[in-house]
Amino acid sequence: MHLLVCGGTGCSASQSAKIVENLQLELKRQGQEDVQVILTGCFGFCEKGPIVKVMPDNTFYTEVKPEDAGEIVAEHVIKGRKVTRLLYTDPENKEHISDSKHMGFYKKQLRIALRNCGFIDPENIDEYVANDGYAAVAKVLTEMSAEQVIEEIKLSGLRGRGGGGFPTGLKWEIASKNHADQKYVVCNADEGDPGAFMDRSILEGDPHSVIEAMTINGFAIGATKGLIYIRAEYPLAIHRLQIAIGQAREYGLLGKNIFGSGFDFDIELRYGAGAFVCGEETALIHSMEGLRGEPTFKPPFPAQSGYLGKPTNVNNVETYANIPIIILKGANWFNKIGTEKSKGTKVFALAGQINNVGLIEVPMGITLREVIYEIGGGIKNGRAFKAVQTGGPSGGCLTEKHLDTPIDYDNLIAAGSMMGSGGMVVMDDTSCMVSIAKFYLEFTVEESCGKCTPCRVGNKRLHEILEKITKGNGTMEDLDALRNLAAVIKDTALCGLGQTSPNPVLSTLDNFGDEYLEHVKDKKCRAGVCKSLMKYVIDPEACVGCTACARNCPVNAIAGEKKMPHVINTELCIKCGACIERCKFNAISIK
C-alpha cells in the first residue's frame, strides 16, 4: 500500500507538504512504516484539493487537511475502512464516490500528456522508468533512424500545443534538413497566459517526459544540445527539472553516448524574467541569447537561424509530453484520437465561474458543453452561462451558440477564438463582456515589448477606448474606431502577440455587440460591473429616515431629515456600497 499526495502548486499552497509530514509521522506512530507516502504532481481536481490518493485501491480523498492524517492511517491503512467524510460527494445524487474514474470531473478526460501527473513521484526517476519512462528514447536510439522518428511524429498528426498548432513533425523535418555544425532543441516553458498552469503542472508532475522527448527531438533533427526556457516564477518546476536532469545524467540518459548509440545530448535550463512576449519563439531565443526579449520577423524561422544563429527547434512543454507515448504506442494509436485535423488531446486550465476548477485533459473534438457541464460540473451557484474564453489574451470569448462546437484548432479559430496554450475561463451573467475585453487588453498592453507601433501604441489606444466605454463616455464613433483599430493591429503587428491581441475585443464585439451598445447608448452595464454606470438609489417608499446610511456615507453624499426619506446625490456618490450594507429596510438599490 502507498499514499499519493498532490504536490502541485495549488495543493502545496494548501499545505500538502504538511499532510505528507503528518502522514509519515502517523504511519510511524501507528507502526505502519512500510507504507510509502509519495508527493506527486498535480491531480488536476484543484477545486477539491488537497488530494490524497490511497493505492492500490484507488481511493480518492478530497479537501484533506493535515490534521486528517491520523484518521486516514488509523481507519484506512490499518482497518481498511474508507474515511467517508473525505470522499468526493456527487453533486447530483449526493452519493460518495471513492474511485476518481467514476467522478464527473474525470469521466470524459483522457490523460496522455498528463499520464504520469498524480501517479508518480516526479523527483524519483525510478518511478518514471517503472512507468515505461525512457523506453521511447531507448527505442528511438536503438531501433529507429532520425527519418523514421520524424515520419512517426508526422503520421501522428501532433500539432504544437503552445497555441499556433503548427504540425510538430513538419517542424522537426524542416530543422533536420537545415545543416549546421551545431543545432539546438528548445523547450518553451514560458507559459504566460493569465490563469494558465498546464505546462507548469507537467514540469512539476512529470519532468522526465519532457527530458526524454527533447532527447528524441535532438536525435531526430541532429541536435546535441537542449535548452529549457522556463520562467523564474516557477520555482517548483525548476527545482524538479534540476533534480530530473541530474538523475537523467546519473543514469546516462543525458550526456555522452546515450544507450551506447553514440548519440550525445544534454540539457540546460535558461530562466525567463516573466515577459509574456518571450513565449513567442524568436523573442524567446533572443532572451536566451542575453538580448532584449523581443520578436524579430520571420523568415528566417528558428529552424533556419535560431539560437546563436543555428538551426533551432522550439516546442512547447505539452507538445513534448506527448512525444514518448507516441513513440511507444505508435502514431496510429495517437491519430485515432481527436478530430480529422487535430489529433490527440489538449490540456486546459479550467477556471472562472465553474464548479470544478482544475487542470483537465480531453480528447480533441469534445464539445465545450461537455467540458463545462460534465467535467466542469456546470456554472457556480446555479447561475446562467454567459461565455467561455479560450486562448488567453490571444483568444476570444465564445457564447451559448458555440457550446456544441467540437473543440479543435480550426473550429476555435473559425468561431473567432483560438486554442492557445489552454486557458479556459468560464463566465456567468455577472461578467461584463466589455470589462472582460478590457482586462485582456490591459494584459497585452502590459506585456507588449513595444517594438512595433500597432502593438505598442495601438493596443494602448484600444484599451483607452474600452476604458472610456466602461466609464460611460463611449460614443458610437468609438465603436467604429475599435473595429478599425483592432483590424489594423491584426493586419500590421509584427508578431503573434500583437496580431492576436485584438481578438478579445473583436470576439466580444461580434458575440456581445448588444452589451457594447448598452454601455454606449443606454449607459448601462447589465452585469453591474462597470461602477461608473451604476446608480445608487433610495426607494422613498421603503426608507424610514433612520439616517444610518447618511451617517455612514464616507463622502456625505446622502441627505435627508430624520424620519423622512433620504436622497443620494449621485454626483458625489463613489459607489462604495456602505449605505446598502447599513440599510436595514432594503431601501437602497443599484440601478
> Where does this chain bind other proteins (CB under 8 A)?
275, 277, 292, 294, 296-297, 299, 445-454, 456-461, 464, 481, 484-485, 488, 490-494, 499
In angstroms, what is the minimal distance from the CB of 405 to other proteins?
22
Q: Which amino acid is at 427?
A: M
Q: Which three cell numbers stand for residue 72?
A: 486516514
In angstroms, what is the minimal distance from the CB of 501 to other proteins?
11
**What is the 3-state secondary structure of 85-143?**
HHEEECCCCCCEECEHHHCHHHHCCCCCCCCCCCCCCCCCHHHHHHCCCCHHHHHHHHH
Largest CA distance in the chain: 93
In angstroms, what is the minimal distance from the CB of 195 to other proteins?
20
Our CA angle for 457, 462, 464, nearest 5°, is 95
Distance CA(326)–CA(144), nearest Å, equals: 14
Sign of the Cα torsion 437, 439, 442, 448 reads negative
In angstroms, what is the minimal distance from the CB of 233 to other proteins?
16
Helices 235-250 and 207-221 cross at an angle (nearest 10°) of 60
Distance CA(569)–CA(463), nearest Å, equals: 30
How is residue 280 annotated by DSSP? S
8 Å CB contact between 190 and 163: no
Our CA angle for 263, 267, 270, nearest 5°, is 155
- Closer by beta carbon to other proteins, 297 or else 401: 297
Q: Which amino acid is at 325?
A: I
- Closer by beta carbon to other proteins, 207 or else 302: 302
Distance CA(310)–CA(243), nearest Å, equals: 28
Distance CA(457)–CA(153), nearest Å, equals: 41
Q: Which three cell numbers stand for residue 386?
A: 454567459
- Closer by beta carbon to other proteins, 70 or else 472: 472
Task: State the pairing for strand pair 588-590/536-538.
Answer: antiparallel
In angstroms, what is the minimal distance from the CB of 591 to other proteins?
30
- Closer by beta carbon to other proteins, 2 or else 451: 451
- Closer by beta carbon to other proteins, 274 or else 406: 274
Q: Which amino acid is at 84?
A: T
Residues 6+ apart with CB under 8 A from 48: 62, 63, 88, 356
8 Å CB contact between 302 and 312: yes
8 Å CB contact between 470 and 519: yes
In angstroms, what is the minimal distance from the CB of 284 to other proteins?
15
Q: Identify the residue whose cell numbers are 502514431.
A: 331
In angstroms, what is the minimal distance from the CB of 433 to other proteins?
22
- Closer by beta carbon to other proteins, 47 or else 447: 447
Q: Identify the residue whose cell numbers are 473567432.
A: 416
- Closer by beta carbon to other proteins, 206 or else 294: 294
- Closer by beta carbon to other proteins, 245 or else 494: 494
In angstroms, what is the minimal distance from the CB of 486 to other proteins?
11
In angstroms, what is the minimal distance from the CB of 184 to other proteins?
24
Burial class from Cβ neighbours inside 10 Å (0-12, 13-18, 19+) for residue 404 reads exposed
In angstroms, what is the minimal distance from the CB of 458 to other proteins?
5
- Closer by beta carbon to other proteins, 82 or else 298: 298
8 Å CB contact between 384 and 196: no
- Closer by beta carbon to other proteins, 297 or else 382: 297
Phi/psi at 87 (5° precision): -80, 160
8 Å CB contact between 588 and 579: yes
In angstroms, what is the minimal distance from the CB of 338 to other proteins?
25
In angstroms, what is the minimal distance from the CB of 460 to other proteins?
5
Phi/psi at 358 (5° precision): 165, -170
In angstroms, what is the minimal distance from the CB of 360 to other proteins?
31
